[in-house]
């Protein structure tokens, strides 16, 4: 019986001993074997070559080596572009202890499973079973069809089988949808493997993070991708989508948020749930939405209006009109009004001083403290010479499930088997363009 143990790029092949006492030196290469035979007197014969599969078949037939030690006169040497790595304990040759060069990928004619190199059916099946168990079931269970039957020792503290790992999904921004002030699209690749654990659902959490919110107490909103989004039972501000990667077998799930607050810091968290109720590791994305949409022409008109109200003697009626006008606009618009006012009329006194003088400290404070809501990032952009607003539309694939999953049976449903209907729709995206000169 032969055994192949591999770690990294090194493999150790062992087999039963030959009672006939033949001696030889063998060098293993990727697909061929060279054997140099010697006589007892040390005279050399010609170098012989044979296919690697022939060598394995011959070992199986001849029963050449023992299980526990190599036979005298046989040496396995690891070759790397003609040189021997010093890290291989089977490769020690006097005077050849040089450092290993950088590995170079040789030409690959075709790719086949390693166990197909073995011709004996019994050995091939045992080797195949061991490799499949190691790759799909962490070596702690057997592959049955497309799932893992875990060993009795492969159960976690909750009593759930854990020989088949549940991969962590990686949440990311969708590259096809640029975030705007209110719209953000996120996506992730389906982590369900071909064999092993089955993903039942993905749970998405989102919450706004700011200095006024206790992030430990405020948990945000949790959404089930299957029950809330694909079913259409959730809010209209969040929708589900699905597409395929470069390989058709790879599914990409996506979620679009359409009602976020501009200039807001949001934290999104995703984890997978399998059919046994296990949760994967969390994947997190934190981002700030784009600055609010600003009508720059209107901001300039308001700045002119405020200057005219402040100019000369200001009556109580004019004071109240100026106060109401400044309190009705958004914080970002107020910031832009201040910018235009100071750009045109600062020689008559800046916006802050004039507001305190004309409206009084209390009303001026109520107006000016709203400027603190604008982030430092948006503050710098709102000082640009010109701002142009625009609204564009981008396509998005909205998806709904065709079937209703039974209540209380979430863990027993496989998300990938859910029948989904998708329809492409257009999503409006409002943006500002900032610059030092007017765009065309």
Indicate the angle between helix axes 331-345 and 296-310, nearest 10 degrees.
Answer: 60
Residue 190 pLDDT: 92
Domain that holds residue 34: 1-109
Q: What is the DSSP letter of 83?
A: B
Task: Say how far apart CA 301 and CA 308 lie, in whole Å.
Answer: 11
Residue ending a domain, choose from 109, 126, 156: 109
DSSP string, 17-72: BPTT---EEEEE-SSEEEEEEB-TT--B---EEEEHHHHHHHHHHHT-B-SSSPPT
Q: Are residues 214 and 158 in the same domain?
A: no
Task: Say how far apart CA 213 and CA 201 lie, in whole Å.
Answer: 29
Residue 94 pLDDT: 58
Domain presence at residue 63:
yes
- The DSSP bridge partners found for residue 279 are 273
What is the domain-level CATH number for residue 269? 2.60.40.10
Name the phi and psi angles at 173, rounded to 5.
Answer: -70, 140
Q: Are residues 359 and 402 in the same domain?
A: no
Under-50 pLDDT residues of the chain: 1-42, 44-47, 63-78, 80-81, 410-411, 439-440
- Smallest CA-to-CA distance from 383 within 291, 270, 315 is with 291
Q: Are residues 322 and 334 in the same domain?
A: yes
Domain presence at residue 436:
no
Helix (H) or strand (E) holding 345: helix 331-345
Residue 273 pLDDT: 92
Residue 71 pLDDT: 37
Q: Are residues 57 and 157 in the same domain?
A: no
Q: Are residues 32 and 55 in the same domain?
A: yes
Q: Are residues 403 and 286 in the same domain?
A: yes
Residue 246 pLDDT: 62
Residue 4 pLDDT: 39
Distance of CA 238 to the CA centre of its chain: 20
- Smallest CA-to-CA distance from 238 within 250, 249, 225, 251 is with 225
- Smallest CA-to-CA distance from 4 within 59, 49, 71, 84 is with 59
Phi-psi region at 376: left, alpha or beta (left = phi > 0; alpha = psi -120 to 50): alpha
Residue 412 pLDDT: 62
Q: Are residues 194 and 253 in the same domain?
A: yes
Residue 33 pLDDT: 40
399-429: b (≥16 Cβ within 10 Å) or e? bebeeebeeeebeebebeebebeeeeeebeb
Residue 345 pLDDT: 87
Q: What is the DSSP letter of 151?
A: -
Name the phi and psi angles at 56, rounded to 5.
Answer: -65, -40
Which residues contact residue 227 at a Cβ distance below 8 angstroms, ignoring those fewer than 6 apart? 201, 233, 405, 410
Q: How many domains does the chain have?
A: 4
């Amino acid at each position: 019986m032969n055994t192949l143990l591999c770690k990294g790029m090194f493999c150790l092949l062992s087999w039963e001993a030959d009672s006939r006492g033949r001696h030889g030196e063998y060098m293993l290469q990727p697909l061929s074997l060279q054997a140099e035979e010697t006589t007892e007197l040390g005279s050399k014969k010609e170098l012989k070559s044979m296919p690697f599969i022939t060598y394995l078949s011959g070992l199986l037939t001849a029963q050449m080596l023992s299980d526990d030690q190599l036979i005298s006169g046989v040496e396995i040497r690891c070759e790397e572009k003609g040189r021997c790595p010093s890290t291989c304990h089977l490769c020690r040759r006097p005077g050849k202890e040089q450092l290993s060069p950088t590995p170079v990928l040789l030409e690959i004619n075709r790719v086949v499973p390693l166990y197909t190199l073995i011709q004996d059916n019994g050995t091939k099946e045992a080797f195949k079973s061991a490799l499949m168990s190691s790759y799909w079931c962490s070596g702690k269970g057997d592959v049955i069809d497309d799932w893992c039957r875990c060993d009795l020792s492969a159960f976690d503290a909750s009593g759930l089988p854990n020989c088949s790992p549940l991969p962590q999904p990686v949440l990311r921004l969708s590259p096809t949808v640029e975030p705007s002030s209110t719209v953000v699209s996120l996506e992730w690749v389906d982590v369900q493997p071909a064999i092993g654990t089955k993903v039942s659902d993905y749970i998405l959490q989102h919450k706004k993070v700011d200095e006024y919110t206790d992030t430990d107490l405020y948990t945000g909103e949790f959404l089930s991708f299957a029950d809330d989004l694909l079913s259409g039972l959730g809010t209209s501000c969040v929708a589900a989508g699905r597409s395929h990667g470069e390989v058709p077998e790879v599914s990409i799930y996506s979620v679009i948020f359409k009602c976020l607050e501009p200039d807001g810091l949001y934290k999104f968290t995703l984890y997978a749930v399998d059919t046994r109720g296990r949760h994967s590791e969390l994947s997190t994305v934190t981002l700030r939405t784009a600055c609010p949409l600003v009508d720059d022409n209107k901001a300039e008109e308001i700045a002119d209006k405020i200057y005219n109200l402040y100019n000369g003697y200001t009556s109580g009626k004019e004071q109240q009109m100026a106060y109401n006008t400044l309190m009705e606009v958004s914080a970002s618009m107020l910031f832009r009004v201040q910018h235009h006012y100071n750009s045109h009329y600062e020689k008559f006194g800046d916006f802050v001083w004039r507001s305190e003088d004309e409206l009084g400290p209390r009303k001026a404070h109520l107006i000016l403290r709203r400027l603190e809501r604008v982030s430092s990032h948006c503050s710098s952009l709102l000082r640009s010479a010109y701002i142009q607003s625009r609204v564009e539309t981008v396509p998005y694939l909205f998806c709904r499930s065709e079937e209703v999953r039974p209540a209380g049976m979430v863990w027993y449903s496989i998300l990938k088997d859910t029948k989904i209907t998708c329809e492409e729709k257009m999503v409006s995206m409002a943006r500002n363009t900032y610059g030092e000169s007017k765009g065309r």
